[in-house]
Amino acid sequence: MKEHYELIILGGGPAGLSAGLYAARARLDHVLIEKGAPGGQVLLTDWVDNYPGFPEGITGFDLIENMTKHAKRFDLNIELACVTKVDLDQNDKKILHLDSGEKVSCDALIICTGASANTLNVPGEQEMRGKGVSYCGTCDAPFYRNMHVAVVGGGNTAIQEAEYLTKFASKVTVIHRRDELRATKILQEVAFANEKIDFIWDATVTSIEGGTGVERINLLKRDGSTSTLDVEGVFVLIGVTPNADELPLEKLKADKWGFIPTDIEANTCVPGVLAAGDICSKSVRQIVNAAGEGAVAVLTAEAYIQSSK
């Protein structure tokens, strides 16, 4: 890598690759820095059925491969490196520190580091991921038509997605470790009134079992008793964690969970620093809006770079 670029895109998921495509087409002096394989969480998604342009659906791997090929056709510059610290206190320059000891600076920075779904960390969860274990009801609900599924969680997202799942599943069982939900009262009222939703209280999932797909989950109640629930899908909806270890969250005025607020043009509170995708403070985290935000971020960054000259 050079010592300085007009634009650095940090992260190579859908937001970063979309930003990279627009940056390359705009012929900006740019680099996309990714610490591993491009794709982010999408690489862990078995099948994507709701991305425009693929009426038959597409695997997460193939979608990312197509995005990468598309951007590289316009000479997207991708570098594999691990950023250990982002320094925004160097006048108008943004300094990224690499684990190699090198530093690279830019005029404009787009943060696309994403977020990771919180997991149960129980036996069978990783093995069944994409085979009945999901972390997004909105994404995967249509795959569970007329099936019995479980939702693990008790917050707003879990209850909203449980309600959404009833449009497809024959039955939705919400499993919550407490004796009452954390979701807002209006969401609770809607869920309690839905005949297709039932609840198991004071319980945690201890393991997920199945062959080619999920067949059952094992539960531990607070009183020490155990039980088994036969289900064909498990939606783990216990929150997401931003990938933000290297970011100056206080400087970026991150929310209490560590996500970065932006305006409609992807600007953060720091001039010349933008954010796109799941790292942003928002309620909807889908591949399609991450890609759109990446495009908006580059257009905004390009205008910033031109005005700063």
- Which sequence positions are flagged as catalytic? 136, 139-140
- Other CB atoms within 10 Å distance of the CB of residue 43: 16
Identity (one letter) of the amino acid at 77? N
Q: How far lies 70's CA from each of 21, 42, 73, 254, in Å?
A: 7, 17, 5, 32
The alpha helices in 120-233, defined as continuous H runs, are 137-140, 156-165, 185-193
DSSP string, 17-79: HHHHHHHHHTT-SEEEEESSSTTGGGGG-S-B--STT-TT-B-HHHHHHHHHHHHHTTT--EE
What SS3 class is residue 11? coil
153 within 8 A of 178, measured Cβ to Cβ: no
Contacts 24+ apart (CB under 8 A), 288-292: 288/50, 288/51, 288/52, 290/13, 290/14, 290/15, 290/18, 290/112, 291/14, 291/15, 291/17, 291/18, 291/67, 292/18
